[in-house]
Every structure is written in structure tokens, then in C-alpha cells.
Amino acid sequence: MKDTFKHKGMRNKLADVVSSKGIRNKKVIDAIRTIPRHLFMDSGFEHHAYQDKPFPIAAEQTISQPYTVAFQTELLEVSPNDTILEIGTGSGYQTAVLLHLKAKVFTIERQLELFKKTNLFFKKMGYRPKKFVFGDGYKGMPEHAPFDGIIVTAGAPEVPKALLSQLKIGGRLVIPVGEDDQTMMRITRKSEKEFEREEFGSFRFVPLLEDKN
């Protein structure tokens, strides 16, 4: 598959839609305008790629809605060279947005099929996260902590404690919390023991699954 002028045109419109829904951060909008979302989906679904909607990918998972990706990324307040941990790599689209903002990205996916597929795709596209691992995101990545930001792209029944402990002072955790639908939360580490919690409305995500073994 290729990236054509037609795709670029559709992407410009998508960026305008996302912006009209209230996303202010120019670099985030620029990422939506630049990243070829249709290549993150199976061929044949190209016409769906530039609608502001989630879409099914492999292993019963979804590529998040562009507005949701933009919203979470804006809340994360990414600066160049920030170290960002992403839980739920999925198609890799959110990862590409973080890389576009020049973050150092560490990302975890627990579905083996999807992990393998996205790993090949990153190589093919030249997307270079610092680390892409197959594993359980509930545990975070203690060996690379602390992080400037942590983003969870699946609905968590509760906030995993391990993730809070892997934030720098001043670091942000952006996570949708809830069972059927989720409240978008941003938790900022104010000091070693103090965390500020903010809520940003209701969203729907596939569940964050825990490996109990």
C-alpha cells in the first residue's frame, strides 16, 4: 500500500475534524495530519482510515479513534526527549503519534499475534520506539522507570499501582478507568507520595487485561 495525495487530502480533513472537536495542541494536530493511518489497518479498509472512528484490527482489538488518540496525547503534555511508556501498543498508531512528538517511547503489548504484526510493521515503516516488548502492561517497565509520562490505551478497572510508582516527580499518567465505560483520568505525581487526580469525561476502550499467572 502507498501513501498518495488522495490520502493526504483525507488526512488534512481528519486533522481539521479533530481540531474542531477541541484539540488545541498544534503538534498533536500536525501528527494526525502527517501519520498515514490507513497503513496501520489491513488493506481493504482504507476508506475507513480517515473517518474519526475506532476500527477493528487483529486479535479482536481496535485502533483507537483519532480524536481519542489526540485527546490522550494532549493530556500527556509531551516535550521532545520525554520518556513515555505506552501500555497497549495495538496497531502502533498512538506510538507513531508519540514518536512524531519526538518522545522516547517504551511500549508494551500483551497480544502475541498483534505484537508480532506491529513489530514487523514498525521495522518496515522505520518507526523506532526505544523498546517494544511483549508482556503485561500492568507491571509497567520498572527497568526503564521513572517516566515523564505513561499512557494507557485500554480501559483499566482500576489504576495499576506499579504505574504510579514508575512516574517521575512531575510525571503524568493518562488512563481511562472503569469497567463498561471509562472516565479519562490524568494523575500527576506532585511529590514522592502526593498525586493529583483530574477527570476528563467518558470514553469507551477495549479492556486492559491482566495476566494472573
Angstrom distance (rounded) from CA 107 to CA 159: 18
Residue 52, CA atoms < 13 Å, CB-side half-sphere: 17
How many Cβ atoms from other residues are within 10 Å of residue 140's Cβ? 26
Q: State which residue, 116 or 190, has the beta carbon closest to ligand SAH.
A: 116
Shortest distance, CB of residue 62 to ligand SAH, whole angstroms?
5
Distance CA 173, CA 122 (A): 25
64 catalytically annotated: yes
Least distance from C-beta 200 to ligand SAH, angstroms?
Answer: 17
Shortest reach from residue 21's CB to ligand SAH, in Å? 17
Cβ density class 109-118: b for 16+ within 10 Å, e for less: bbbeebbebb
Residue of 19, 20, 43, 64 with catalytic role: 64
Determine, following the binding rule CB under 6 A, whether residue 162 of this chain makes contact with ligand SAH: no
Q: Which of 60/193 has CB closer to ligand SAH? A: 60
Q: Which residue has the cell 500527576?
A: 188
Point out which residues bind ligand SAH (CB under 6 A): 61-64, 87-88, 90-91, 93-94, 108-111, 114, 136-138, 153-154, 206, 208-210
